[in-house]
Amino acid sequence: MATTTDNGSRTTFMEEVRDAVTARAALLMIGVLALTALFIASYTGAFHSPKPRDVPVAVVAPAQAGGQLTDRLGKLPGSPLDPRTAPSEADAVRQIKERKIDAALVVDPRGSTDKLLLATGSGASLSQAVETVLTRAEKEQKRTVRTQDVAPADPDDARGLSSFYLVIGWCVGGYLCAAILAVSYGARPVNTKRAVIRLGALAVYSVLTGLAGAVVVGPVLGALPGSVAALWGLGALLVFAVGATTFAFQGIAGIIGIGLTILVVVIAGNPSAGGAYPYPLLPDFWRAIGPALPPGAGTWTARSIAYFHGNAVTGPLLVLCAWAVVATVLTLVFASLRKGRETINRSEVVQ
């Protein structure tokens, strides 16, 4: 079948298709298809069957009984718990608040009801999973448990997810800012000076976006407690790290670099961040990569700021700093290399 164009010439249907969908567009569509399949696989793989595995739990009990109970809990089918003894209830509470363990079982040697210390600030799904496992294990010994939340999530923070959503918002802001600059002025900066200007603009944007997120979840909505200043600093660092990573990927692959950021941050990072399901509930692959990616490091830090007095944040903050520094260096290096290639090309033309 042929069609007639405005100037009177005739084109076939296949010629129309090739004109409407270029080879470059077709390749980009294939790339988007691959990202979509990976998105579905990553989120479904991480969330379709959450099961506790090796959850760090303390046992407080008289010496002999405590050793036997720890051994029995460590041998539960599927290894849901990673039990260790604690000398006292106060020490167990301290370890929970320092995020060294996720729960503690305090045995009452004079009765049949034991105390289960939980921290819903780490995520309601994790607390519920631990409670289910220990309630079942205690029932087999004709004992019961009563729970005590030693680091509770705020009543306005449904299931402890506000920190996760806050981090997702900051990550989206980071790569969208970089993407907008790419669409407006080209994916690759033409020289080092332009790269520095882009990084400077991103830094200003990061500070403002970090402040906006901290104020919205804190004073405006009351969805997340904790220091607004600390959350602001976290947000600024996270937004810059993700935005600079997008710049670096663009320096490597041009506009396709945005897709690489989505692969790392959205497809791999979000489901492994420990938000909807904390790390002990995730399959091994997602549990392994989560702490090393910006969403995971950001979610852990935001929860620590909100519910654990800022404890256990050194490692995650170093992860975010590493992403920011390495991405900044790569952005400048690729901009310098691009300038060098253009200088060589111009000199060849002159000759």
DSSP-assigned states of every residue in 298-322: HHHHHHHHHHSTTTT-HHHHHHHHH
Q: How confident is the model at residue 28, as a pLDDT?
A: 77
Q: What is the pLDDT along the chain (351 residues), one digit of tens a residue?
A: 555 555 555 667 666 666 666 777 778 788 889 989 999 999 999 999 999 999 999 999 998 788 899 999 999 999 999 999 999 999 999 999 999 999 999 999 999 999 999 999 999 999 999 999 999 999 999 999 999 999 999 998 878 899 999 999 999 999 999 988 877 666 566 678 888 989 999 999 999 999 999 999 999 999 999 999 999 999 999 999 999 999 999 988 888 888 999 999 999 999 999 999 999 999 999 999 999 999 999 999 999 999 999 999 999 999 999 999 999 999 999 888 875 555 444 444 344
pTM of this prediction?
0.88
Question: How many of the other CB atoms lie within 10 Å of CB of 93?
Answer: 20
| Fold category of 55-149 in CATH | abc type-2 transporter like fold (3.40.1710)
The pLDDT, as a whole number, for residue 114 is 96
pLDDT for the residue numbered 182: 77
Distance CA 246, CA 175 (A): 6
Angle at 50 between CA 290 and CA 268, to 5 degrees: 30
Q: Which residue has the tokens 């790419």?
A: 182
- For the chain, give every residue range classified as CATH 3.40.1710.10: 55-149
User: In sequence order, what are the beta bridge partners of 144?
Assistant: 113
Using DSSP, state whether 117 is helix, strand or coil. strand
- Which residues touch 332 (CB under 8 Å, ≥6 apart)? 192, 195, 196, 199
- Would you state the pLDDT for residue 347? 45
pLDDT for residue 22: 76
pLDDT value of position 337: 84
Number of Cβ within 10 Å of residue 108's Cβ equals: 13
Nearest CA among 101, 78, 123 for reference residue 296: 123
